[in-house]
Amino acid sequence: MKTVVIIDDEKDARDLIKQYLTHHPNYKLVGEAQNGLDAVQKINELKPELIFLDIQMPGMNGFEVLTKLQVLPEVIFSTAYDDYALEAFKVKALDYLLKPYGKKRFEEAIQRIDKNTEKVQQLAEKLLKEQSNTLEKIIVHSGVKRLIIDVTDIHYLEAYGDYTKIFTKRESFLSTTGISSILEKLKDSDFIRIHRSHVVNLSHILHLIKDGRYYYLHLTSGTKLKVSETYLRDLKALQL
Residue pLDDT, tens place only, 22-78 = 999 999 999 999 999 999 999 999 999 999 999 888 888 898 999 999 999 999 998
Residue 239: what pLDDT?
66
Instruction: Give the confidence band of 238 by pLDDT, cuts at 50, 70, 90.
Output: confident
* Whether the Cβ atoms of residue 71 and residue 42 lie closer than 8 Å to each other: no
- Domains of the chain, first to last: 2-130 (3.40.50.2300), 137-236 (2.40.50.1020)
- The residues, ordered by sequence, that sit 6+ positions from 19 with a Cβ below 8 Å of its Cβ are none
d(CA 217, CA 200) in angstroms, rounded, equals 9
| 228 DSSP assignment | P
Residue pLDDT, tens place only, 71-110 = 999 999 988 876 655 665 664 557 788 888 999 999 999 9
* Whether the Cβ atoms of residue 48 and residue 33 lie closer than 8 Å to each other: no
User: Structure pTM?
Assistant: 0.84
* Whether the Cβ atoms of residue 48 and residue 4 lie closer than 8 Å to each other: yes
Instruction: Give the confidence band of 147 by pLDDT, cuts at 50, 70, 90.
Output: very high
Instruction: Give the confidence band of 118 by pLDDT, cuts at 50, 70, 90.
Output: confident
Q: What count of other Cβ atoms lies within 10 Å of the Cβ of residue 11?
A: 10
Q: Bridge partners of 74?
A: 50
Residue 86: what pLDDT?
63
d(CA 208, CA 226) in angstroms, rounded, equals 10
E strand or H helix that includes residue 114: helix 113-130
